[in-house]
Amino acid sequence: MGYMAGYQISEDMRARLDNDYTYHAPNDSQIERYQSIRDSAKAFAELIVCSCPPSRELSLALASLEASVMQANAAIARHE
């Protein structure tokens, strides 16, 4: 695919992109850990909601927690 930028994709970056943008079917052990991470994050989200007034910052805190869950699950999916 031709791009106008002057940079080339290294072999290491190609491997990363191939891994990052490929579906990784979970195995039984991973499914259990995904659920554990989500359950723990939900409990923390409930603590945050019960401790903080409705605000932009509350929304950002919840969005950051959601992103953390997604990144943790991606670490499991992509690197095992």
Tell whether 6 is covered by a domain: no
Model confidence pLDDT, tens digit, residues 37-47: 999 999 999 99
Are residues 20 and 9 in contact, defined by beta-carbon separation less than 8 angstroms? no
Model confidence pLDDT, tens digit, residues 23-38: 999 998 999 999 999 9
pLDDT at 5: 75
CA torsion 49-50-51-52 (nearest 10°) is: 40
Q: What do you get for the CA distance between the two ends of the chain, in Å?
A: 29
Tell whether 50 is covered by a domain: yes
Range of the domain at 58: 11-79
Number of independent structural domains in the chain: 1
Cα–Cα distance for residue pair 5/43, rounded to 1 Å: 45
Tell whether 4 is covered by a domain: no
